[in-house]
Amino acid sequence: MARAAHRRPTVPEWLRDPLRVAGGPVPYGTVVRGALTTGPLLAAGVAAQHTPWGVLAALGAMFATVNDRPGARRTRVVRIGVPAGAGALGIVLGGLLAVLCSPADGMPDGLWVVPALAFAGYLSGAVSVIGPVASAAGLQFLVVLLIGAGLKPPGPVWLAPSLVVAGALWHLLVVLATRPQAHREEREAVATVYDQLGAALAAAGTGDGKTQRRAFSGALDRAYAALEHHRGLPRFRRASAAERRLRAQLAVAGMAGEAAVSLLWEGRPLPSRTLDAPLHLAHAVRTGRPCGPLALPAPETPGQRALRDALTHAAEVFRVSGHPTPEPAPVRLRDHPGTRRALGPLGRAYGLRVALCVGACAAVAVLLHPVQWYWLPITAAFLAKPDLGPLFSRVVSRMFGTILGVVVYIALDASLPGAAGPVAAAALGGALIPVAARHFAFLTAALTSIVLALAGVSGTVGAPGARLTDTALGCLIAFGVGHLPRLGGRQPAVDEHWASALRAAEAYFAHVVAAPAGGREELDRRRRAAYQALAEAHTALAQATSELPPAGVRATRWAPPLAALERLVDATTACAVRLRNGRPLPVNEGRRLADALGRLAADASARRGTDWPPLPTPTELSTRCTSLAEVAHQLHNVRRFTEAA
């Protein structure tokens, strides 16, 4: 009898996730800026004998350092300023709670304040689905509100929020003063798009196209975010000549990316001299110099003709310094997809999870230690937000990072006299935040050392031990609430992002089938929206598979339909390229496929099964249009896989 093959046991994803650490070079400039903000502000408050003022300013600088990420100047202003404004609002509302509720040994009198804190937690969790800036603002609002409700205000009601904002503004001032070169981040983002375009073109015919196409789509999204992220604000919509040039260069990269997707779908490799063209364009973006002559491919296939047209247009755009480009349309907040998610089932699920965790921790804190009650719900606030990562991984990392931060603080406090130890711990923690942000455990250690420093100069006794106790208890509460039936699971997030990806794919395909005259900008916008929705769905599924069972979602159920939908969008791009080359699509079959995809998207949004209409088969379309036949084939796959899932 043949011996059965033995498989090596695989480590579950929820065990591997806590061990992953993001790589990359050390951002020395950001490290120096972090050291110049939190610690010096705290030292200034202590030296001026206004320690509470220094504590609040250092708190604002700490959050600004956490929210600071590489990017354009205006992007950094919003990433730091919006959460700082939310923190100022939070400390005002927290102070009002402390005033309205007569303090009883430090805790607002009466358990009715717990529902108020739970409601704040609900708001913090619900806005997290809008985007990363809204998520950071929601978290800072909740944490600072808890601090404001638990601490005695240092003066008039306007002083505390002013100090928090002043700390953030100090960090922002340091950032702007140490990064004098304008538009460097925007140029690098656009140049990276061309680098990834070259990698995607080189992958044609190699079988590695999916990975390279995803990398190109991600780089394109980041570049558009750097150039157009704040187009909803009228003042930030005023683009300089350099920005208009970068937008024109980025628009050309989008055209070339459409051709690259078509070439990946065709599976025909390009000559090496053509593969050098994106590298020349990337160098021209970085240096501002002419790109020189570009080697154009032979126009043998629709994809090659599309790439030839895109490179010809790129040469013209890079040669003419004042090439016109349309101004991006302003985006209203109510029309943002994230706003709809915040008001929908996903926002309610996220908000309820944070509300229960914060409310439960606040109620327990009343019984345990009412003097420093706010530490326990703050711990839950950092753990309960589902958008920040898998719960089990964050619980383990939070506990380990807290222990490490306590050890660092105790060592510095014991080795340096007076307030020098806490100030050194705050400065060291601020300097390490940019590097520690690569893993939640290290970030927790840096933040713990800062928080203990703020507590130490404020005269809090026993802060390290209390911090360990609160962290352990907060981890237990968050872990329990996060695994409650129908609340802690990741299925709502997977369902919501799957429905969003279907809606974006349907809008893109319907626009291609309609074949409107002109409308190139609208087609590019819908294509980018489709690929961005697919990337968000992949991220949601990856986080779901990293959750501890039964909260996690098995990737074997949802990965196949998501991969089929991704191939469908690729085939849609090939259809668009075919149309641009004067080859019409079979109209009736295209409309039938668009109607079926629209019905599937509507049913997925409503969480109901789909009554599928008769679909054209790939066989009957293959002789008339291979790209539309591929759309039909992948739609049949989506139908089969979703019914199985």
3-state percent breakdown (helix, strand, coil) of the chain, nearest 5: 75, 0, 25
Distance CA 541, CA 552 (A): 9
Residue-wise pLDDT tens digits, 588-599: 888 888 888 888
**Residue among 185, 155, 198 at smallest CA distance from 77:** 185
Residue 264: pLDDT band (50, 70, 90) is confident
Structure-block tokens of residue 628: 């539309």
Q: What is the pLDDT of residue 162?
A: 92
pLDDT at 107 over 60: no
Residue-wise pLDDT tens digits, 116-141: 899 999 999 999 988 888 999 999 99
pLDDT at 4 over 60: no
Q: What is the pLDDT of residue 265?
A: 81
Range from 257-266, 380-389, 457-466, 530-539 that averages highest in pLDDT: 530-539
Q: What is the pLDDT of residue 148?
A: 87
Residue 5: pLDDT band (50, 70, 90) is very low
Residue type, 275: L
Quick check: 193 and 250 in contact, CB under 8 A? yes
Q: What is the pLDDT of residue 233?
A: 47
Residue-wise pLDDT tens digits, 490-529: 778 888 889 999 999 999 999 888 876 556 778 888 998 9
pLDDT at 603 over 70: yes
Q: What is the pLDDT of residue 430?
A: 92
Q: Tell me what the mean pLDDT of segment 608-614 comes to.
A: 77
For the chain, percent of residues with pLDDT exceeding 70: 89
236 DSSP assignment: G
Distance CA 228, CA 232 (A): 9
Distance CA 176, CA 192 (A): 23
Residue-wise pLDDT tens digits, 175-205: 888 765 667 778 888 899 999 998 988 888 7
- Distances in Å between the Cα of 570 and the Cα atoms of 218, 317, 508 are 15, 27, 11
pLDDT at 331 over 70: no
Sign of CA dihedral 158, 160, 161, 162: positive
Alpha helices of 320-419 — where are they, by DSSP H?
337-342, 345-368, 375-384, 391-415
pLDDT at 330 over 70: no
The better pLDDT of the pair 221, 12 is held by 221
Quick check: 160 and 106 in contact, CB under 8 A? no
Quick check: 40 and 427 in contact, CB under 8 A? yes
Place of tokens 């506990």: 399
Q: What is the pLDDT of residue 238?
A: 57
Q: What is the pLDDT of residue 68?
A: 85
Q: Which residues neighbour 73 within 8 Å (Cβ) at sequence distance 6 or greater?
A: 176, 179, 182, 185
Residue-wise pLDDT tens digits, 19-71: 888 777 777 888 888 889 999 999 999 999 899 999 999 999 999 999 987 76
The model's pTM: 0.86
The chain-wide mean pLDDT, for the chain, equals 83
- Distances in Å between the Cα of 491 and the Cα atoms of 495, 552, 604 are 6, 8, 13
Quick check: 622 and 616 in contact, CB under 8 A? no
Longest alpha-carbon distance in the chain = 85
Quick check: 243 and 276 in contact, CB under 8 A? no
- The answer for 517, left when phi > 0, alpha when psi is -120 to 50, beta otherwise, is beta
Q: Tell me what the mean pLDDT of segment 476-500 comes to.
A: 81
- The answer for 10, left when phi > 0, alpha when psi is -120 to 50, beta otherwise, is beta
Distance CA 527, CA 572 (A): 9
Q: What is the pLDDT of residue 9?
A: 54
Residue 320: pLDDT band (50, 70, 90) is low
Quick check: 457 and 55 in contact, CB under 8 A? yes
Rg of the chain over Cα atoms, rounded to whole angstroms, equals: 27
Which residues on neighbouring strands pair with residue 108, listed in sequence order?
103
Q: What is the pLDDT of residue 472?
A: 92
Range from 306-315, 483-492, 519-528 that averages highest in pLDDT: 306-315
pLDDT at 548 over 70: yes
Residue-wise pLDDT tens digits, 442-475: 999 999 999 999 988 987 777 888 889 889 999 9
Distance CA 78, CA 230 (A): 8
Q: What is the pLDDT of residue 585?
A: 78
Q: Tell me what the mean pLDDT of segment 404-411 comes to.
A: 94
Quick check: 430 and 450 in contact, CB under 8 A? yes
